Structure 1
Amino acid sequence: MPVSSIRRFVILSLLVLPLAPCSAEEAPGGTPIHIHAAGSLSGALRAIAARYQQETGETIAMVFGPSGLLREGIEKGNEADLFLSADRQHPQRLATEGKAAPPVVFIRNSLCATARADHPLIKAQLLDYMLDPATKIGTSTPKADPGGDYAMALFAKAETVRRGAEQILREKARALVGGAPPEPAPAQTNANVPQSGPAPTKKFLLDGTVDLFIGYCSRRETRPDPEVVSVPVPEALAVRADYALALLRDKSPERQAAAARFALYLMTPSAQAIFADYNFVPVVALSEFPPL
């Protein structure tokens, strides 16, 4: 993200925080910051929130789920101070409705193809493998989950590489995840509690439901999973995933200030480095990150 964009975000944060002091002593350990975040952020965000809580004494309550369903919940009145979406469109819709400040990109992701570890993938031959009639493909749920929308965009790009590919891939693909109701974090004051059980995408790969899953290159853990293998999609099929945050309006000045502090924390080198550990793409090179 250009320096000017970061400065714009700081200004926008101040605009939605009239006369609100920005000291961490306002409500340490009191009313938690309510965050609704894309499920793909769960591993990295738990780690970031745990560090933030330790540094500031503020508590954080998180709900993870498909961004589209989270946005719908916010529109219906679900309590949220900060929305972290896997795309720009859902937070922009809230901003257009007057429910949120203009969204700002805070991290990026890219698309990878994932298969069982005993089923190695070759990046250069990925499209051939995807189009093989025997290959079963899984994706997230379009519209409800941006991951599914990004997969559809990839299929559209495949059409420019090979005529007829988009229809074949759309017909083959099964939307397996991203349509379930959002899930709260295990505990608001213990944000680094790991999720239990295998990721749903891994389960579908291991039990043979699909042979290949088109999803994000980011991981739920810092280390690669030895039971699956992932490769970035070829450049001709690449789709950039911009993750945008939006501060929700109509909150008390104290809650807005607390949410803005955490939003700004996500843009710091320490938080961006944690995102990178989980295979996200920082918005700027960490060595070039300007002081706030």
Structure 2
Amino acid sequence: MRVLAAGSLRMVWPQLMAHFPQPVETQFGPAGLLRERIEAGEACDLFASANLAHPQALLAAGLAQSVVPFASNMLCLTVRSDVLRDSDDWRSVLSRDDLRIATSTAGADPSGDYTQTLFTRMGDAGEAVRRRARALVGGRDSTPVPAGRLAAEWIILGGQAEIFIGYASYAAALRKVAGLTVLDIPALFNTRAEYACAVITPQGQGLAGFLQSDESKAILHQAGFGG
């Protein structure tokens, strides 16, 4: 079985597949770019996306048999610890002109789309943040994040930005990295990322069913994903 899966599933995927009885070959990448590959004719049995929109687009185009939701995620901020002031919270950090902000690429990577929604929910302050933010990962021409590195860790410790806006499923791992601080974003402003599969062939249906199982949900929850 061949699967194309959102990059944010890379860390948890081996644990999931260890409980699935059939061998699975998986390639990871930004979900929007993976969808384009399927639209261009690349073969796979299942596409695991970090949003509903890309699987639904494949279904509407007649390229998928069904769409199956299986998990959720949220956003968080990762900040270089030594730039934080005692009075800083998530909103004040984003509003500081002295700090550079990095994000994923909207359109190509759903994390970038969710981040744009965050800026909109922040109102006028968010528009100023939007103008300052730079999309450094997840795009067609973005430098790939090195294997074994987290995007926020690589961007911030590599000196490209002081703040990275990304998925909260990485928060536990990022909190273990010296020099980084993770700040939660309140639900009022945060965006719920809805993960869903596009079942491309009958062979993919079994895996989609497994991803909806209690066993799978327990593994995803342990890895920081919601139901």
Relative to the length of structure 2, the TM-score reads 0.90
C-alpha deviations, 1:70-109, integer Å up to 9, x for none?
A: 0000001111110110001111100000111232211000
Alpha-carbon spacing, 1:122–1:152, altered in 2? closer, same or farther (3 Å)? farther
Give me the whole-angstrom Cα distance separating, in 2, the residues matched to 1:121 and 1:41: 33
Q: CA deviation at 1:230?
A: 1.6
Distance 1:41 1:197 in 2: 13
Counterpart for residue 236 of structure 1? 188
2:163 to 212, 222, 231: 212
Instruction: Choose from 31, 43, 51 the match for 1:79.
Output: 43
Question: What per-residue deviation string (whole Å, max 9, x for no partner) do you get for residues 161-216 of structure 1?
Answer: xxx223211111010111148xxxxxxxxxxxxx9432232111112211111111
Question: 1:172: which partner in 2?
Answer: 132
1:121–1:136 Cα change, 3 Å: same
Counterpart selection for 1:43 from 1, 5, 11: 11
- Where does residue 277 of structure 1 map in the other structure? 222
Higher strand share: 2
CA distance in 1, matches of 2:185, 2:138: 21
Shift of 1:236: 2.8
Name the CA distance, whole Å, in 2 between partners of 1:240 and 1:35.
24
- Structure 1 segments of 4+ aligned residues over 6 angstroms from their partners: 121-124, 220-223
Identical positions, percent: 34
- CA shift for structure 1 position 229: 2.4
Mapped to 2, the partners of 1:247 and 1:269 lie a distance apart of: 19
1:126 corresponding residue in structure 2: 90
Considering only aligned residues, what root-mean-square deviation do their CA atoms show, in Å? Answer: 2.2
Find the residue that maps to 1:46 and give its secondary structure. helix
Deviation at 1:147, TM superposition (A): 0.3
> What displacement does 1:115 show?
1.6
**Closer, same or farther: CA 119–104 of 1 in aligned 2, 3 Å:** farther
Q: What whole-Å deviation, never above 9, does each CA across 1:1-44 have from its counterpart, x for those lacking one?
A: xxxxxxxxxxxxxxxxxxxxxxxxxxxxxxxx111110001111
Contiguous gaps of at least 5 residues in structure 2: none
Change (3 A) 1:132 1:222: closer
The structure with more radius of gyration: 1
Q: Deviations over 1:243-284 (max 9, x none)?
A: 111101xx4xxxx1x3211111111111111111110112xx
SS in structure 2 of the partner of residue 243 of structure 1: strand
2:61 corresponds to: 97
Q: How many residues align?
A: 222
Contact persistence 1:117–1:226 (CA under 8 A): no
Larger mean CA deviation between 207-216 and 145-154 belongs to: 207-216
2:104 to 120, 140, 143: 140
AA partner of residue 269 (structure 1): D
Aligned residues of 1:140 and 1:175 also touching (Cα < 8 A): yes
Contact 2:108–2:140 (CA<8 Å) still a contact in 1?
A: no
Most deviating of 140-149 and 214-223: 214-223
CA contact (8 A) 2:106 2:112 kept: yes
User: SS where residue 12 of structure 2 aligns?
Assistant: helix
How far apart in 1 are the matches of 2:84 and 2:222? 24
Q: What secondary structure, in the 3-state scheme, does the structure 2 residue paired with 1:281 have?
A: coil
Give the TM-score, by structure 1 length: 0.71
